[in-house]
Structure formats: structure tokens, C-alpha cells
Amino acid sequence: MAAEDNDASIALVTGAASGIGAAVVARLTGRGWKVAGVDLRGSETDLPLVADVADRGAVREAADRAARQLGPVSLLVSVAGHYEMFPVSEIGTERWQRMLSVHLGGTRNACAAVLPAMLEAGRGTIITTSSELALGGGAEDAHYAAAKGAIIGFTKSLAAEVADRGVRVNSVAPGPTDTPLLAPDSPWRDPAFLQTLPLGRLVSPEEVAETVLFLAEEGSYFCGQVLSPNAGAVI
Amino acid sequence: MSPDPEGIRIGEALPLEGTVALVTGAAQGIGKATALRLAADGAIVAANDREPSEALEEVAAGCGGFAAAADVSDPDAVAQMVALIGESLGPVGVLVSNAAYMSMGSFTEQDEADWWRQVDTNLSATFYLVREVLPGMRRLGRGRIVFVSSEWGVVGWPNATAYAASKAGLISLGKTLGRELAPENIITSIVAPGVTDTPSSRSTPATPECRSKR
């Protein structure tokens, strides 16, 4: 299903201002989708909306505004998140809860905001963003991996719950990706680390966006799946 | 050549004799069975559950340790409980994070607080527990951590978005800690049981419904 093939071509993308989210916006826009972008700052989208995804009310308001101004949202791509590395003993309660509230809570809030209308329409696609670290684990990533793993369980369950009402839910689990989330001195950019990856390089945001686009437009037979563009980080 | 009568030593088994084990959700079901099994192998078991109860006292009495009632979703309560265990029995060498809360319901209709309570109890509580027992394990120079996840954390389940999220998060957390702590001889593992014949599953009316959904 390409956007130009039907009139239900409105997408809501969270984390739309940079990195994977911005690449998803660019790819969708290039295919004819109208995109409302949610982020902590303005995004280069048809409808930039500033909101914290951890704020349930703000996300609902953003989704409502997207529907009013652009039309019924038929695609949600939930990307918003942040990344930080700490040994488990240095992750305090505040960091733990913030990680869960942004990643799992943000995904939950975005799904809760768009799902009722999708179910009423009997059609819709939701794509969440997990991580290769949730599949294989990674030292000093306890809170990040836990939150991203929770997104996988959430995605599979929601997919099973709403598939028979016309809504497909899937997830992408990128490997280390060349985005602003990886600081210049990030160990994930270390050539010694990259050499351990079967493909020997970071994934590009555009490659993750291509995976998202596939799930959105062509993968009508994917339900509750986790696609992991990860340069072989987890095989 | 005759076999070595002592047997072939494959790996270093953790001697449970005298080891303090903390088992959460130990008043019944998997937690109770685990607490009694560890005690049978010589562990001194601190049996935790959310509230004090006769059932918890009975398990504790059978374990040679004591009952440690605390709501594990409360980080302060976890800190106090682990401190009390440390003062009374010694540092925790084995942690079995088993306590869980499940409440099934449609994602779009389920009460949000009830949704998060499952994540708090099943996933965040495990983090709080690990954080509090780690200093003691480091002093011991060894530790064994076991998370009780669920088959639903692996495959998901309709009307169980929070439960499956929490249990899938546990798997990823366990893999991460497995990598991070193994060099310190603190080994993290995960078990993911299928639907188990426990008082919880018997009293969950949604179980037959969710079976029929599949």
C-alpha cells in the first residue's frame, strides 16, 4: 500500500525532529504521506507539534490536532526516545523511571492516542521502535534495554489484540545507528567495536526508515514482528 | 580407564549451604516452590511477599530464614527489606525476582494506573532489587540472580499488553545484566514459564478467555 494509492495517507511520527524519526519523515513525505511530527522541538513536517511523549495528555492533544488539521491518522511511527549508558549501580530510580516513561510510556501514549480512531475505521498501521540491545542485551544499558524489551512485549501483545480489527502492529529494532543519540565519543562509534559487527559499520537512519516504510506500505502480511536492521549485531 | 568416582567437575556450582537467598512473591505458587527448593539445598531463605500473611510465615518457617514482607514496587521498601535481611541473615547471595502482578484487559479500555502497576511490580521492582543486593554480592565475590519472566514475555498475548511488556522487559534486562555482571561472578539468568498451575493462574478468570482468543 503506497500512500498515493489511497486517501488514508496521514502519518503521525514521534521523535520526528532528528535521527531515525527525521529520516522516517523524509522517506514518508517522499512517498506522498502527510506527516504530523511530534518532538520536544519543532520538526520539518507538514504539522510540527511540540510535546513530550511521556505526557499522555499532550500526546493525545497532538494526535487530535493531527486528525483535525491533516485528516484521520492511518500510520503511527513511534520513534521518540533517548539513550544513555550507565553501569546498573549508577542508574538511580529517576533515570530508570524516565527511561521507562519516555520509551514504553511514550509508545503507550502514542498508541492510545491513535488507536481508537484506527479501530473505528477498521484500518491502521502502528510501528514501534525497539532496539537490537533489547534482543541481545548490552553491558551498561540496563534501563535502555529493559525499556526497549518492554516495547517488544507490548508490540506483540497489541498486535495479537487488534489484528482482527484491521490494525497491524510491528516493531523495528535497529542496531547501532548513526544518529545524534550516539555521541561523537560513544563506544558504539569506536572502530574497534565496529570491527566486531559482521557488516563492520553503523546502520544509517535512512536504512531504518526504509525498514519502517516497508512495514508501512508493503508488509501487509507482517503482524507482531520485530525487524532488526542491525548490521549483524544480533543474528 | 575407569571413571573418576568424584565425577567430572564441569563448572563451579554455587554451594547453597549457608547462602542467603531472597525469593520475592514467595507466599504461594512458583515463589513458594522455589523458596522451599532452595532451602532443601541448604540456603537460608528470606521469603518475601507484598503483605504479611500466615501463608508467608509458613513458607518462611520451612526455609530456615524469615518472612520479609515488602511491596517490591516501592524502591524505599526494597532498600529497607534488603538492609534488614543483610543485618539479620547476611548479604544476599541468591536473588530470585518472582513477585508479579497481572491484570488483563483491552489496551484501549484498561485503567492506566492498573496498566502501570504491572510494569512497576514486575519490571521496575526487579531493577530495585538488583540494585540493592548488588553491593552484598560484590562483597561476597559471587552472586546468582534469577528473573521469573513468562512465556508471554516471549510471544506476547492479547489483552495483556502491560504484563507482556513487563515480562519482555525482564528478558532484555536479564540479558543486559548477564553481560554486565558476569565478569564479577554474578550470573543473571531468566526463566520464562508457560501457564503454570498456581493459585494465581487458577484465580485468573481471563486465562480460558485468552486461550480461546488464540
pLDDT in tens, A59-95: 999 999 999 999 999 999 999 999 999 999 999 999 9
Q: Rounded to a whole number, what is the distance in Å from the CA of B67 to chain A's nearest CA?
A: 26
- Closest residue by Cα to residue A47 from A78, A75, A68, A20: A68
Which range is least confidently modeled, A168-172, A178-182, B161-165? A178-182
What does the pLDDT read at residue B12? 55
Check B172 against A115: CB less than 8 A apart.
no
Contact A113, A126 (CB under 8 A): no
pLDDT in tens, A138-148: 999 999 999 99
- The more confident residue out of B211 and B149 is B149
What does the pLDDT read at residue B5? 62
pLDDT in tens, B78-112: 999 999 999 999 999 999 999 999 999 999 999 99
Q: How many whole angstroms separate alpha carbon B43 and alpha carbon A124?
A: 53
Question: What mean pLDDT comes out for the span B143-172?
Answer: 97
What does the pLDDT read at residue B60? 96
What does the pLDDT read at residue A180? 86
Q: Is B178 on the interface with A (CB under 8 A)?
A: yes
Check B169 against A149: CB less than 8 A apart.
yes
A91, A119, A153 ranked by CB distance to B164: nearest = A153
Q: How many whole angstroms separate alpha carbon B214 and alpha carbon B205?
A: 16
Q: How many whole angstroms separate alpha carbon A211 and alpha carbon A192?
A: 27
Q: Rounded to a whole number, what is the distance in Å from the CA of B24 to chain A's nearest CA?
A: 20
What does the pLDDT read at residue B65? 85
Complex-level ipTM: 0.94
Q: Which residue type occupies B78?
A: V
Q: What is the band of B158 on the pLDDT scale with cuts at 50, 70, 90?
A: very high
A148, A150, A161 ranked by CB distance to B123: nearest = A150
Select the CATH number that applies to the domain covering A3-227 from these four: 3.40.50.720, 1.10.10.60, 3.90.280.10, 3.40.190.10.
3.40.50.720
Contact A194, A202 (CB under 8 A): yes
What does the pLDDT read at residue B209? 45
A88, A104, A135 ranked by CB distance to B180: nearest = A88
B124, B159, B172 ranked by CB distance to A148: nearest = B172
Which chain B residues are Cβ-neighbours of A76 within 8 angstroms? none
Contact A21, A37 (CB under 8 A): yes
Asked whether residue A28 carries a pLDDT value surpassing 90, the answer given is: yes
Q: Rounded to a whole number, what is the distance in Å from the CA of A61 to chain B's nearest CA?
A: 16
Beta-carbon contacts of A74 under 8 Å, excluding residues fewer than 6 positions away, are A8, A9, A10, A11, A118, A121, A123, A124, A125
Q: What is the band of B3 on the pLDDT scale with cuts at 50, 70, 90?
A: low
What does the pLDDT read at residue B212? 42
**34-73 of B, contacting A, C-beta below 8 A:** none
What is the CATH superfamily name and number for domain B20-213? NAD(P)-binding Rossmann-like Domain (3.40.50.720)
Question: What mean pLDDT comes out for the span B203-211?
Answer: 50
Q: Rounded to a whole number, what is the distance in Å from the CA of B108 to chain A's nearest CA?
A: 6
Question: What mean pLDDT comes out for the span B142-168?
Answer: 97
B6, three cell numbers: 568424584
Q: Delimit the domains of chain B by residue range.
A: 20-213
Considering Cα of B78, then B84, then B87, then B90, what sign does the dihedral take? negative
Q: What is the band of B210 on the pLDDT scale with cuts at 50, 70, 90?
A: very low
pTM: 0.93
**Virtual torsion, Cα A21, A24, A26, A32, nearest 10 deg:** -140
Q: Delimit the domains of chain A by residue range.
A: 3-227
Q: What is the band of B15 on the pLDDT scale with cuts at 50, 70, 90?
A: low
Question: What mean pLDDT comes out for the span B122-145?
Answer: 98
Question: What mean pLDDT comes out for the span A197-224?
Answer: 97
Question: What mean pLDDT comes out for the span A110-115?
Answer: 98
Degrees to nearest 5, angle at CA B130 with B89 and B104: 115
Question: What mean pLDDT comes out for the span B193-204?
Answer: 75
- Residue A169 φ then ψ, to 5°: -125, 125
The number of beta carbons lying within 10 Å of the beta carbon of residue A135 is 23
Q: How many whole angstroms separate alpha carbon A22 and alpha carbon A24?
A: 5
- Beta bridge partner(s), residue A203: A177
Q: Is A210 on the interface with B (CB under 8 A)?
A: no
B197, three cell numbers: 498451575
Q: At what angle do helices A142-162 and B125-140 cross, to 10 degrees?
A: 150
Q: Are strands B92-97 and B143-148 parallel, antiparallel or unpaired?
A: parallel
Burial class (CB in 10 A: 0-12, 13-18, 19+), A32: exposed
B190, three cell numbers: 531468566
Asked whether residue B214 carries a pLDDT value surpassing 50, the answer given is: no
Q: Is A183 on the interface with B (CB under 8 A)?
A: no
> Is A144 an annotated catalytic residue?
yes
Cα A36 off chain centre by: 14
